[in-house]
Amino acid sequence: MSTIEGPTAAEPADDVPRATAAERIDHEARLRGEGVEFPDKPEGPIAAAIIAGGIGAAALGLFTTLAEASTDIHDWLEWDADVGPLSGKTIMAVIVWLVAWAILHVRYRNRPYETRRAFAIAMVLIGLGVLGTFPTFFQAFAP
């Protein structure tokens, strides 16, 4: 019978049973000191998810403003009479978010992309989305 020892240099630190995050970090630091290389992974998929979230938020603001600006769009977005146009606005925003995430993921999946830049882009888009949901803003477009 063999006893289970800690992971070797060939095993990743995540395989440590019940290891805390601090223990995994210490283990990885020891492995790096032994000359074990950990390949960098591209941050493109992370950036894609962050930017897609911003696009979804901006889409919600856009659909909210468009529903107020046009009775045709308002009526089209009213998919459930009990909920009103909110049902169409939110469902369409989720669809836009998912499509954007899929497209951006395919585009950036193997590319290095700076996460800070993606975060800045997402914050601008989220800000525009929040602006579009403020009554003072979208009521300015009422016919």
Report which DSSP code applies to 41. P
pLDDT score recorded for residue 15: 53
Return the higher-pLDDT residue of 126 and 75: 126
3-state secondary structure of 79: coil
Q: Is the pLDDT of residue 106 over 70?
A: yes
The string of DSSP letters for 25-85 reads HHHHHHHHHTT---PPPPSHHHHHHHHHHHHHHHHHHHHHHHHHH-HHHHHHH--BTTTBH
pLDDT score recorded for residue 10: 52
pLDDT tier at 11, thresholds 50, 70, 90: low
pLDDT in tens, 49-72: 999 999 999 999 999 999 999 889
What residues contact 77, with CB distance under 8 A and at least 6 apart?
63, 67, 85, 87, 88, 89, 92
pLDDT score recorded for residue 5: 52
pLDDT score recorded for residue 52: 97
84 phi and psi angles, rounded to 5 deg: 85, -160
pLDDT in tens, 19-42: 677 777 777 777 776 666 667 777
